[in-house]
Each structure stands twice: as structure tokens, then as C-alpha cells.
Amino acid sequence: MRAFEFLLALYSIVAGLGMSIVVRSIAQMIEARQRIRLYWVHVVLIAFVFMAQIVSWFSLWQFAGHSPWTVADALFLLTIPLVLYLVGHLAVPELEDGLVHDLREYYYRHARWGHGLMLAVIVISLIGEAFILGQLEMTPPRMLRIALGVVFLPGILTVNPAVHSVQAALLVAAMATGVSFVRIAIG
């Protein structure tokens, strides 16, 4: 087994745990639909976190030919699914039986941490790519990540609903833009 294959397997385990927590929680929200009050900004964040998990996993293929791997390379790479796991955990509530859950209140209780961790994922991924590849070419997907970092920054500084509504709209636009990259070859 090559070093990349080993790291890919470890990354997949952590990313899979992060995706499963989001999917499990969505299923719980569907089951408890009579007891929850949805908030569209929160729904957008959940969709974005799920999409980020998938995109981060596929972005690994850019490193398939990298050699030799160092411990620092591996740490940069494996930090991303770990932080995304934390974001996924914060993004979705544990639904206690019998209680009514206001997802607007839940969202704002965790918004600063969630946005801060998403910004950390973006920064770590950009620095990690530059460190591992020895350069950072400004491709459209990387420019989109930088723009997302700018979008997440105000959510760390304030819990103003108007700011978060604008952010959510921008995240929807970013996801729509990201979908346009689906025709880009992996790796």
C-alpha cells in the first residue's frame, strides 16, 4: 500500500463519520418534523456542510501523485475531515424525545463556532495545498474557497440575523457555482 492510499483510507474513515452524523441527524429531523421549527439559514448550513464533506474527499485526488509524504503533509490533510466532523456535529442538533426544537435558536447558539471552524477548514486546505504541492495556483475552485472564507468571516463576528441571511444566500450561490465544477476531471 502506498502512502497516499493509506492516507486516503484514514481520511475516508474520518470523513465518513462526519457525513454519517449529518445524514443521521437529517433523518432524526424528518422523524421529529412535528416537533421542530425549521430555519432556512440553518438548512442552508447543513446542506453546505454535507457538500463540503463530499468536495473535500474528492479534492484529495489532486495529491494522488505526490511523493514522498511527510508527517506534516499528512497532518495538513487529515486535519480537514477532523474539523469538518466538528462542524457537522455543531450543525445538527441532538433531538430529545418529546421536546420542541427551535432550529433558529440552535443555529445562533452555535453560529460563531460553526463559521469559525468552516473558515479554519478553508484556511487549512489552502495552506495545506500550498505546503504539499509547493505552490498555490489560483484555479476557479480555489478562488471560490477564498470567497467562501470571506463569506464566513462576518458570521464569526456577529450573530445578526440579517448578516446570516445574506451569508446563507451567498452560500446557496456558492453551492450553485460549485456545481458548475462537476465537469472538471478529478485528480
| Amino acid, single-letter form, for residue 54 | I
CB 136 within 8 A of CB 130: yes
Per-residue pLDDT tens for 30-89?
Answer: 988 888 999 999 999 999 999 999 888 888 888 888 888 889 988 988 999 999 999 999
Asked whether the predicted pLDDT for residue 153 surpasses 80, the reply is yes
Distances (CA, A) of 185 to 51, 58, 160, 169, 182: 18, 10, 39, 28, 8
Where in the sequence is the domain holding 42, given as residue range(s)?
A: 3-183
- Give Cβ neighbours of residue 114 (< 8 Å, ≥ 6 apart): 45, 87, 90, 91, 155
All 3 cell numbers of residue 139?
Answer: 484555479
Distance of CA 177 to the CA centre of its chain: 16
Given this model, what pLDDT does residue 182 score?
67
Considering its fold, how many domains does the chain have in total?
1
C-alpha span between 32 and 24 (Å, rounded): 12
Q: What is the DSSP string of 128-145?
A: HHHHHHS-----HHHHHH
Nearest to 144 by CA among 74, 70, 64, 51: 51
Of 11-20, 52-61, 119-128, 164-173, where does mean pLDDT reach its minimum?
52-61
